[in-house]
Amino acid sequence: MDDYQVLEKKTELLCKGVYLNPDLVTYYQKQGINLGYGRKGGAGPLGGRYFLFKDQTLVNVALWDSNEHTNLSLGVKKGEFFQVLDRHQNNVFAELILVNNPRFYDRKTSDGIEMKKIALVHGVDCLATTIYQKCAYWTCGEACKFCGIQLSLENGATIEEKTPEQLSEVMAAAIKENRCSHATLTSGTTAEKGKGALRYVQILKKLKKDHPTIPLHVQIEPLKDLEYINELKSAGADTIGIHIEIFNENLRKRFTPGKAHVPRDQFERNWTHALDIFGKNQVETFILAGLEDFNADFILNLEHVISLGIIPFITPVRPIPSKKPIVPPLNYERLLKLYELAGTLMKNHGVNPLEFKAGCVRCGGCSAIKEAYRAVS
């Protein structure tokens, strides 16, 4: 497959996901292959597993237990490849390698916590953790409509707050298995000073001291006092995400009622300051595709963000497992067009997602923004 074909296939998989027949789960379990439907709660896109194309391109594929969502089905495993079948075209859509869970998921930390409750491996080698699993917006009824951060706490899959020592121990275990070459740290927003940004500082210092070669990514909400961004950098963060998710102000109020209190110009001040502190191509913002039309205003906003030097991490919004979808499924051809445009705009403005040192953009599991950049060369 050439770069454009990879972009096309990955975009379709990100939008549609794949039907996984429950009988197949049992069948493979008997062969020791833990297939499962993925995370049911937590930060970031849920309910999926990581797969690799033959060229090692990573994709986070939603796995559905009913085939109403998608015409793609997971088929038999031939050698190391799972076949993805297209029921409409009646052919093999792609052949993918399942990324297995790391062995440390069966181990505990020295204070007796299951390591998989402290951090998980996203993709092949990105250690990801939610350092604080609660969010002030959930408490006041203004949670983002697509967010599942507290669900994994409610279903016992994680703990509320991770300590620097626990995270360093789990990172050591992941590094030993070659399953950690960078890390994503995220957190719920808190009512404290700095909205929880300071909770990162001790963790960053500990991880940087114990594992100096592992680049670290943090995600925050825009802050009035930009000094916090400097503190995160000096504590050891290498890249940062400040996520706007939606451009349209009315839709921000609808889908992210709490975060919509943060004015747009505060995002811009944080983005430009973060670029000064972290450097070129080290600042990203999540754009959740499917919540708003890709109309002229959207495109203007997208180009503006890219012109500031920010990487637009465009990822299709994904329903939370066991919850009613908040919007209809996104047509993948529309998203493909958007990726092509974003790739061209990044080229025109000298923004290069391939240079992002740590975190979501480097991992790339949930977005085809890097493939778009490569495909428009």
Identity of the residue, 185 or 346, whose beta carbon is nearer to ligand SF4 in the bound complex: 185
Sheet hosting strand 120-122, strand order edge to edge? 120-122, 126-130, 182-186, 216-220, 239-242, 283-289, 311-316
222 versus 359: smaller Cβ distance to ligand SF4: 359
Q: How far is the CB of 55 from ligand SF4 (least distance, A)?
A: 18
Measured distance CA(377)–CA(375) in Å, rounded: 6
> Shortest approach of ligand SF4 to residue 286 CB, angstroms?
9
Output the smallest distance, CB 112 to ligand SF4, in A.
Answer: 26
CB of 123 to ligand SF4, least distance (A): 5
Candidates 371, 364, 369; CA nearest to 45 is: 364
157 secondary structure, DSSP code: S
Q: How far is the CB of 104 from ligand SF4 (least distance, A)?
A: 17
The smaller minimum CB distance to ligand SF4, of residues 85 and 311, is found at 311
Strands 72-78 and 81-86: antiparallel
Q: Which residues bind ligand SF4 (CB under 6 A)?
A: 44, 60, 122-123, 126, 128, 184, 360, 363, 365-366
Q: Which residue(s) pair with 245 in the sheet?
A: 287
- At 230, give phi and psi (nearest 5°): -65, -40
Nearer to ligand SF4, 85 or 369 (CB): 369
How many of the other CB atoms lie within 10 Å of CB of 38? 17
Cβ nearer to ligand SF4, comparing 85 with 314: 314
CA proximity to 137, closest of 291, 305, 252: 252
- State the DSSP code for 258: T
User: What count of other Cβ atoms lies within 10 Å of the Cβ of residue 314?
Assistant: 23
Tokens of 109: 């930390």
CB nearer to ligand SF4: give 44 or 319: 44
Query: Least Å distance between CB 359 and ligand SF4?
Result: 6
Distance (Å, whole) CA 126 – CA 233: 19
Between CA 134 and CA 95 the distance in angstroms is 38
**Minimum gap (Å) between residue 315 Cβ and ligand SF4:** 7
With respect to ligand SF4, which residue has the nearer C-beta, 122 or 206?
A: 122
